[in-house]
Amino acid sequence: MANKFSDQVGGFITLRLKGPQQEKIINLALARGIYIWDIKREGEFLYLKVRNSGYEAFKAIVEDHEFELEILKRDGLPFYRKILKQRMGLLGGAVLFIAALYLISSFVWFVEVSGNQAVDNTRILASAARNGIYPGAGKWSFSRIEAEEAMLRELSELTYVEFDIRGVRANIKVVEKVLPDADAIGPCDIVAERDGLVEEILVLNGQAVVQKGAVVVKGDMLISGTVTPTPPMEGLPVDPNAVTGPTLVRARGYVKARTWYEGYGEAKRTYEETRLTGERYSRLAIKTPWRVFTVTGEGEIPFSSYEQRKKIGSGTGNWGLDWTEYREQKTETTQFSENGAVEMARQTAMASLEADMKGNVKIMDSQLEVLSSPSDSIVRIKIFVEGLEDIGMPQTIGGVEISS
């Protein structure tokens, strides 16, 4: 194994020798310390291998005895290096081509949308662009999971978003929410969606079950879809075609009630924020089977704290291209006053409440309670909100469907 390694490092030459008494040439070469191996005789020719370092000495012996010597092949690192020097332009072009290919493939150039019917493509593409995915965006500059979650928050009509990125093409797969068709639910009641104190009721179809001032809980019936006709007054003639029994209708109307919400929020009195300063340092390296060549960015990184982003990091086998960017970051500490920390906690609590509140809630009153003490490092609060909203929600009557 050692001999084979040294042969490759030093190089060796395959020769063909022609002449009488070929054994004499071999013995003379061995006597002078010339290493020869793979000796084979085929007819009048003798094939052998000799190290590059011993070739000139072996050639001198052959010429002294007027033998014919022919070089068949040169192997080993010295000869490979010579070939590489002769083809440096070709190698450089190949490296530049690979670098350009990896650079181009690290961007998204085409963005498509599939699976949508009601939601316009423009809205979906605009939301994707706001979250970092657009033609020309670098694949390192966005997180697919974060972009999917952000788009679901922005587009309430969608129930599922997935980014399928293949090569330079990004396909946005979406699934739209299937909303119930109000004209297809058939006979229904209007029931309370949440607890409340009834302030106003307007019946468009059906029969009211509650009155102003009534306290209702979630699920209570507000407007019934079962209509019982009013019996005729005594003494008046009876219409033989009049409906005498209860009928099922689609209850319509709205019931405004006072409702109550409770939210929790907290905020640190001392807030540390790590931000980027804008200073950048890049390092570009090319990997080869022999070594890693640093093109730019040698030496120590000049930042004590930094964010590291690998813009390009890929390759095949022992070949590859690494392009890493380091962004300087600094941590700033902000001390909030008691009122400032309470306000931040209140905003957090209100944000949590907005997830439970319907869009038509009118806030009538709010109260805030501080739960923490002045010595605590975190301010904790509870907020109580009183609102006015339509709490009516349709509910089918025993699943009965009617044909239109």
- Summarised one tens digit per residue, pLDDT across range 50-98 is 877 777 788 887 777 777 777 887 776 665 565 555 566 666 777 787 8
CA angle 160, 165, 171 (to 5 degrees): 55
We report the CATH number of the domain holding residue 57 as 3.30.70.260
- The number of domains in the chain is 5
DSSP, res 213 = T
Tell me the angle at which helices 77-86 and 88-105 cross, rounded to the nearest 10 degrees.
80
Same domain, yes or no, for 309 and 346? no
Q: Which among 193, 219, 254 is the end of a domain?
A: 254
Retrieve residue 278's tokens: 């804008």
Smallest CA-to-CA distance from 365 within 260, 208, 211 is with 260
Asked whether residue 245 is assigned to any structural domain, the reply reads yes
Tell whether the model's pLDDT for residue 33 goes beyond 60: yes
Model confidence band, residue 311 (pLDDT cutoffs 50, 70, 90): low
Asked whether residue 119 is assigned to any structural domain, the reply reads yes
Asked whether residue 101 is assigned to any structural domain, the reply reads no
Residue 29 is which amino acid? A
Same domain, yes or no, for 52 and 8? yes
Residue tagged 């070939």 (tokens): 83
- Summarised one tens digit per residue, pLDDT across range 248-286 is 888 888 899 999 998 898 988 887 888 888 888 888 887
Same domain, yes or no, for 69 and 121? no
Q: Mean pLDDT over all residues of the chain? A: 80
Same domain, yes or no, for 112 and 156? yes
Same domain, yes or no, for 242 and 301? no
Model confidence band, residue 1 (pLDDT cutoffs 50, 70, 90): very low
Tell whether the model's pLDDT for residue 403 goes beyond 70: no
Residue 355 makes CB contacts below 8 A (sequence gap 6+) with: none
pLDDT at 10: 61
Model confidence band, residue 314 (pLDDT cutoffs 50, 70, 90): low
Asked whether residue 92 is assigned to any structural domain, the reply reads no
What is the Cα–Cα distance from 165 to 170, expressed in whole angstroms? 4
pLDDT at 192: 92
Residue bearing the bigger pLDDT, 237 or 13: 13
Model confidence band, residue 178 (pLDDT cutoffs 50, 70, 90): low
Smallest CA-to-CA distance from 371 within 271, 263, 259, 272 is with 263
Q: What number of other Cβ atoms are within 10 A of residue 187's Cβ?
A: 20
Same domain, yes or no, for 169 and 189? no
Q: Which among 143, 176, 209 is the end of a domain?
A: 176
Asked whether residue 365 is assigned to any structural domain, the reply reads yes
Asked whether the whole model's pTM tops 0.85, one would answer: no
Instruction: Residue 202: give the domain boundaries.
Output: 185-254
